[in-house]
Each structure stands twice: as C-alpha cells, then as structure tokens.
Amino acid sequence: MSETLSLFLDALVTCLRAAPLTLTLTALSVAVGLCMAIPLSVIHQRQHTPAARLVHAFTYFFTGTPLLVQIYIIYYGIPSFNFIGQLMSQPGFGFLKEGFVWVLVALTLNTAAYSTVIFSGSIKNTDRGEIEAARAYGMNRRKAMRRIILPSSLRRALPAYSNEVILTMHSTALASTVAMMEITGAASLFVTNTYQPFIAYSAAACIYLVLNFVLVFIFRKIEQRYLVHLNSRHLAQA
C-alpha cells in the first residue's frame, strides 16, 4: 500500500510539473478565441451576406468535426505545405517548428467557433424590449449593438460560455497525441516508465478536477456579479 501511495505521489508531482503548459494552452486559446468570437458573432447576425456565410462555414467545420482531427490537420497538414516549410527555415520563424504553436492554433479556432455559436444565439435571444428601448433613445443598429445588445448578450451567455472554457481546458489533453508534455502527456510518460496506468491517470484526473473546481468557482463569482439583474427580474416575475 505504501508503495502504491508513493507511486501516486510521484505521478502527482510529475503531472503538476506539466500543469503550467495545460494552463498556458487554456488561457491563450480562450483569450484569443474570445477576441475572435465576439466580432464573428456580430457578423453572423448579418444573414445572407458573404461575410455571414463565411462565418457560418467556419463554425460549421470546427463544430462539426472532432477536435483531434482538427489538431492532426493543423499539426501535420499545414507544415507539409512547401511555403510553410520554407518559412520555418527563415530567421525569426523558428517557432513554427514547435508543436505548441499548431496545437494552440487548433484549440483557438475550435473554441472560437463554439463561442461564436454561443454568443450568436445569445444575441438572437435578446429581449425585444431592450432593442425597442435603444431605438427610442435614437440609437441606430450599430450603436445599439455596441451599447445595448452585445453587452447584454455576453452577460446572458456566461453560463454556456463557462462550460466552453472548461471543455477547452479538458481538450488540452489531446495535445498529448502530438507528444506535448501537458498533464495527460506527462501521465502517459509516467506510464511508459512505471507500467502503472491506473495510478498515473488517476493522478492526472485529480489535477483536472482541481482545475475544474477553480474554473467553476471563478465563473460562479462572475455570474453572481454580472447576472444579478436577471435574478432580480425572475424574483419580480415570481
């Protein structure tokens, strides 16, 4: 029993050392994906325009195909193009040889697509009264979108978006399939050295559970702050 506990602690330490890479992938992909998703969700509202069709195609592809396939396409496929290979050999572009860049691109595009769908749905479900109030104040469509519709939509999308952030953190485990040493990759390496898969992946699961708890706690505090007006409205209606 003591030997099992010792191995578990060793696996836990090994996975903890890889946690910064998991957190980095999560934070960067979510941050860049959010910056992409907000304008894309607005463009998505302009139905029957070429830009809206492009956004629809983007979201359809990245929400309709497995993330693992997307990682393979971007990690193995894009560097296989001759001009990308030539670019990698140029001074200042050596970072393109790192797998981190391509995995980050795949995670970013994936979470951007899902976030676009979430925000777009929230914009469509904006209360009619808010739109009419904006018009009553003399706001045109663009100003109403910037000052009323979009801020309100982002707040209402928080519960769904928090789930997307957590799923993105979980999805970083797929980076281990291209030999990146994040938490799951570190656990797999530990299995290779010790032949103890149950212990190794149990340790990884414990770390993911802690990270999940932290993210849920953070988003719950954010929701309590920015969705308080919705709670008040529900109480008034009751």
Question: Over the stretch 111-133, which tens digit does the pLDDT of each residue have?
Answer: 999 999 999 999 988 888 877 88
Q: How confident is the model at residue 1 (pLDDT cuts 50, 70, 90)?
A: low
Radius of gyration of the chain, Cα coordinates, nearest whole angstrom: 22
Mean pLDDT of the chain: 90
Segment 71-96 shows an average pLDDT of 87
Amino acid at position 36, single letter = M
Alpha-helical segments (H) within 89-179: 99-124, 128-136, 141-144, 150-156, 158-171
Give me the DSSP letters along the chain.
-HHHHHHHHHHHHHHHHHHHHHHHHHHHHHHHHHHHHHHHHHHHTSTTSHHHHHHHHHHHHHHHS-HHHHHHIIIIIGGGSHHHHHHHTSTT-GGGGSHHHHHHHHHHHHHHHHHHHHHHHHHHT--HHHHHHHHHTT--HHHHIIIIIHHHHHHHTHHHHHHHHHHHHHHGGGGGGGT--SHHHHHHHHHHHH--HHHHHHHHHHHHHHHHHHHHHHHHHHHHHHSHHHHHHHHHH-
Identify which of 149, 138, 123 has the alpha carbon closest to the alpha carbon of residue 52. Answer: 123
Confidence of residue 231 (pLDDT cuts 50, 70, 90): low
235 confidence band (pLDDT: 50, 70, 90): very low
- The range of the structural domain enclosing residue 176 comes to 2-237
Choose from 15-24, 81-90, 224-233 the range with maximum mean pLDDT: 15-24
What's the pLDDT tens digit per position in 202-211? 999 999 999 9
Residue pointed to by tokens 């799923």: 167
How many domains does one find in the chain?
1
Q: Over the stretch 184-204, which tens digit does the pLDDT of each residue have?
A: 999 999 999 999 999 999 999
Q: How far apart are CA 55 and CA 42, in angstroms?
A: 10
Q: Where residue 217 sits, what CATH number does that domain have?
A: 1.10.3720.10
Residue type, 146: R
pTM to 2 decimals? 0.90
- The answer to whether 18 and 98 have CB atoms below 8 angstroms apart is no
Residue 14 confidence (pLDDT) above 60: yes
CA distance 59 to 39: 13
What tokens were used for 68?
A: 């693992």
Return all residues near 235 (Cβ < 8 A) that are at least 6 apart: none
* Cβ pair 21, 104 in contact under 8 A: no
